[in-house]
A and B are shown apart, each in its own frame.
Chain A
Amino acid sequence: NAGVTQTPKFQVLKTGQSMTLQCAQDMNHNSMYWYRQDPGMGLRLIYYSASEGTTDKGEVPNGYNVSRLNKREFSLRLESAAPSQTSVYFCASSDRPFGTEAFFGQGTRLTVV
């Protein structure tokens, strides 16, 4: 039982390059999320998908786009990477809305130079 799987685990990009972070969950969860974690800032929500077919902005959406490809997969795209997007990115999923635990992936450490 893999849970939430993120790829890649590490990535170095040059400023202006684009890339897509992949996330898949095998728990049949309805909701999926992308967070970024920076020292001293904690986890901040970038985008979320409450259910298949819907996506909404979180706290820090600028510079990112997402796609809920199907119930299992939720990808995060950086169209033109900037050094300010250097961070650790976590994908998470949960079952019902509200009051349920979130399951997190192992994270993607992204460095933009």
Chain B
Amino acid sequence: SQKIEQNSEALNIQEGKTATLTCNYTNYSPAYLQWYRQDPGRGPVFLLLIRENEKEKRKERLKVTFDTTLKQSLFHITASQPADSATYLCALPTRALNNAGNMLTFGGGTRLMVKP
């Protein structure tokens, strides 16, 4: 099965700086990779999806890269704000026997703290 590694230690950065979070995976190469944001006491919220043939994807202040050779995705938040403080999860499709359904395997998440 797919194993996903995210830094379990919190990332503390100063407001205005760029936050970079890492997602490493083992085993098979996924067709795509997703990033979610989770606030305390809430369910994860989808942010970005990047496919295996895309090197980079952007959405406002967010940027995701996908390196299938390194088996790694980087998630960047530029000009970070205290409101960006949350836990960020990466997720990859789970290989199922019948290949049915959009099942996702999630990493443990990295908590980001942006200080004013």
Residue numbers of A with Cβ under 8 A of B are 4, 31, 33, 35, 40-45, 48-51, 54, 56, 58-59, 90, 92, 94, 96-107
Contact = CB atoms under 8 A, between A and B. Distances in A.
A59 B94 CA distance: 10
A98 B33 CA distance: 11
26 contacts: A31-B101, A33-B103, A42-B4, A42-B89, A42-B109, A43-B89, A43-B106, A48-B103, A50-B100, A51-B100, A54-B100, A56-B96, A59-B105, A90-B43, A92-B43, A97-B102, A98-B31, A99-B102, A100-B49, A100-B102, A101-B46, A102-B44, A102-B91, A104-B44, A104-B45, A107-B42
Interface in B84-104: 89, 91, 93-94, 96, 98-104
Interface in B68-116: 89, 91, 93-94, 96, 98-109
Contacts of A48: 101, 103
A31 B102 contact: yes
Q: For chain B, what secondary structure do more than half of its interface residues adopt (helix, strand, loop), or is it mixed?
A: loop
Interface in B16-50: 31-32, 34, 41-46, 49
B8 to A, nearest CB: 7
Contacts, number: 82
B100 A97 contact: yes
Contact of B43 (A42, A45, A98, A106): A106
Which 4 interchain pairs have the tightest Cβ spacing?
A: A104-B43, A50-B101, A101-B46, A50-B100
B49 A40 contact: no
Contacts of A103: 46
Given A56-B98, A107-B42, A102 B104 contact: yes
Contacts of A97: 99-102
Nearest to A109: B41
